[in-house]
Structure 1
Amino acid sequence: MQPGPPDLEYGEPFNKAFDQIRSGVDSAVSSFNQVVDQVKEWKWLLGPAALWWIKHNLDNVHAALNSVLDRVDRALEHQLPVLSLINVSFRWVHEVKTPVSDLSFVTTEPADENLTKWTGDAASAYNAKALKQKAAVDETVLKSEFISQWLFKIAKTNVDYAVELAKIVTGLAGRLAQAATEAGTVIDLPWAISTLAQSVGDLVTAGLDNLLNSGQRFVEALGNVRDIATQVGDYSKLPRGQWPHAVRG
């Protein structure tokens, strides 16, 4: 049996996305706290109106940050299961489809060339059984390919989701780091926070819209469960869901 190919094409970018998410979250939270500390440092020079305005903008940034962190928490919970889906998808191909497909030729190829000269009722019965065996083999190959594709589509939508989430987190971390740098003086502080609130709001809104699209594709992939039920429940080549017997006892 040939070993399955490495799943680096999807497993590696999936893990890379989560590495970026983790580091981005750490950076974003650290920069946000730095901005808050800078506000506390200069609040004695800021009037009540300015402080209210700054707090209002920081609350908006905090809400946007929390909305992203909520999605990060849910994504982290599913990291290992998605990697398992990718692995199982390849296993269905290389541990089921490939070895079973090897039997398709064997079932109808005579072990001895003299069998081609065999005639009569026994020969006809043998050939009929062989054709049923081949049909069962070919049907199993189709089913295993379908299951592999179904699992892979679900895994791929999760990979796309993680990559998109990583873009949001790294973008958010960059905006916050920039604000922490620009808010170093009491004069620049209000404008830096105002700009931060606007840019973060736009970034998160656009990013969450993209995540919603990824989520819809995931739901569509799961919706194909009816198709897989149809495949599994089709016994036309596998009577009563079992392999056709070559000999009846």
Structure 2
Amino acid sequence: MSVSTDMVNEFNNHFHGLETKVNDCSKKYNEAVDNINDWRFLLGPAMLLIKPAMDEIREHLAKVRQLVRTALAHHTPVVSLIVQSFNWVEKVQGPVNGLAHQKTDLAYHWEGKAAAKYQDKVTAQNEAIKAYSAKSDSVSKWLMEIATHNVQYMTKLAEIATNFLGELVAVAIEAATVVEIPFAVDKLAGAIGQLVTGVLNNMVGIVERFVAAMAKVRDIMSLMTDTALPGKAWPQAIEG
């Protein structure tokens, strides 16, 4: 299995089931709200504390759902990005490595202008091969950097969805009694708030690195300018 396939599989493993987990979170939340409403009269003044806490949990859930929707919309482009970054190495850079011209026996018999012209063209094309290989490597590293940040982002998104659901299941407000509900809601609100804030802060760092990588597009464009590739083209041995 290729490295490209491994990376795509890792990305997909985090991706698959993500929407289901968020839907399960919504289901557990709604069940909790239904149970609280069933006890609302007996809960009395405690509802003044319970409602804001549940509203806060709902807001956190809405943030996670929006992040997942965005990820779903960009799944295919990210997979393509991962594949293309490896293609640059395997299908562009790889074939050109070791392609440098070697002198043939015939070249040793050439003299004068023919020999000088041959040497000029061989030197120019060898330099072009080196430049081509180096540029392919730079483009591949740039694409891979962006792809890696996307995989890291998806990893954290899967983590937050899984842990969010885990907290809802662990506290089980939907099955709590009238006495247990206030304590369960308080515990859940604290756990969810800490979870979402911590992971989202981490994701912000990933996004910042992603944006920094995207900003390097100017550097990538500048690679097109190289004296070894006059006019952004291959130095031809025969012209005219």
Contact preservation (8 Å) 1:97, 1:144:
yes
Contact preservation (8 Å) 1:238, 1:244:
yes
Letter in 2 for 1:144: S
Partner of 2:28: 31
Is 1:149 the counterpart of 2:141? The answer is yes
CA RMSD of aligned residues (A): 1.7
Partner of 1:205: 197
Contact preservation (8 Å) 2:32, 2:174:
no
Contact preservation (8 Å) 2:18, 2:68:
yes
Residues of 2 paired with 1:8 and 1:20: CA distance? 19
Residues of 2 paired with 1:59 and 1:29: CA distance? 13
Q: Which moved more, 1:81-90 or 1:70-79?
A: 70-79
Is 1:56 the counterpart of 2:49? The answer is no
Find the partner of 1:229 among 221, 226, 240.
221
Instruction: Tell me the CA shift for residue 23 of structure 1.
Output: 3.3
Contact preservation (8 Å) 1:168, 1:204:
yes
Partner of 1:241: 232
Find the partner of 2:165 among 145, 167, 173.
173
Find the partner of 1:74 among 62, 70, 74.
70
Letter in 2 for 1:140: Y
* 1:109-168 alpha-carbon deviations (Å, 9 max, x no partner): 42xx24334333211211111111111111111111111111111111011011011111
Residues of 2 paired with 1:55 and 1:109: CA distance? 82
Partner of 1:190: 182
Gapped regions of structure 2 (runs ≥ 5): none
Find the partner of 1:19 among 2, 16, 21.
16
SS in 2 for 1:103: coil
TM-score (norm 1): 0.90
Letter in 2 for 1:84: S
Residues of 2 paired with 1:235 and 1:177: CA distance? 60
Find the partner of 2:118 among 101, 126, 132.
126
* 1:64-119 alpha-carbon deviations (Å, 9 max, x no partner): 11111111111111111110000011111111111122422xx2342xx2433433
Instruction: Tell me the CA shift for residue 8 of structure 1.
Output: 3.0
Instruction: Tell me the CA shift for residue 5 of structure 1.
Output: 3.2
Q: Which moved more, 1:69-78 or 1:187-196?
A: 69-78
Contact preservation (8 Å) 2:171, 2:188:
yes
Contact preservation (8 Å) 1:183, 1:192:
no
Percent of paired sites with the same residue: 36
Partner of 1:160: 152
* 1:18-74 alpha-carbon deviations (Å, 9 max, x no partner): 125223212211211111111122223221x11222111100100111111111111
Instruction: Tell me the CA shift for residue 171 of structure 1.
Output: 0.8
